[in-house]
Amino acid sequence: MVIIDNLVLLSEFKNLVSNVYIQIFVWIVIADIITGICKGIAGKEANSTKGLMGVVKHLLVVGLVLVAYPYLKIMNFEGVATAFVLSYIAVYGISVIENLGQLGVYVPDFVKDRFSKLKESTDKQENGETKRGGKNNAE
């Protein structure tokens, strides 16, 4: 069993402010929230309940990361803590790219091909809302 000194824990929480991974994580979550709201407004699908649930989900994830990271560092699992934060950075980064693509911001084809949401919206635009492969429903 590991006994954690409160002063050490407080020091680790203070160090979160200067941690580059945490800063990137927080900024990318903010970008995801903003692009998600813009996507909802642009797509005329703005829904306060859905938006509130999204913000609550984001806040819970941020809270989880901000609480777990210092504990993992104190228990000498800094590599696990960093991997934990980087995995969330990757997930939210993918979400931001998908949101930007669905908003109409240019995303290169090699990126679009790797994101199913962007590939689906590109296929719909190219096929004029017909079935995939260019075949009409009448055939």
pTM, full prediction: 0.78
> Of residues 41 and 137, which shows the higher confidence score?
41
pLDDT one-digit tens code per residue, 92-101: 999 999 999 8
> Of residues 129 and 104, which shows the higher confidence score?
104
As given in the structure block, the two tokens for residue 18 are: 């200067």
Residue 68: the pLDDT is 95
**pLDDT at residue 134 above 60?**
no
Residue 131: the pLDDT is 44
As given in the structure block, the two tokens for residue 77 are: 């699992």
Instruction: Over range 19-23, report the average pLDDT.
Output: 97
Residue 81: the pLDDT is 96
pLDDT one-digit tens code per residue, 50-87: 888 989 999 999 999 999 999 999 999 999 999 999 99
- Spatial separation of the C-alpha atoms in residues 96 and 30, rounded to whole Å: 10
Residue 64: the pLDDT is 97
What is the CB neighbour count within 10 angstroms for residue 5?
9
Residue 116: the pLDDT is 72
pLDDT one-digit tens code per residue, 97-119: 999 988 989 888 888 888 776 66
- The answer to whether the beta carbons of residues 97 and 112 sit under 8 Å apart is no
- Spatial separation of the C-alpha atoms in residues 25 and 6, rounded to whole Å: 25
Residue 52: the pLDDT is 87
- The answer to whether the beta carbons of residues 73 and 81 sit under 8 Å apart is yes
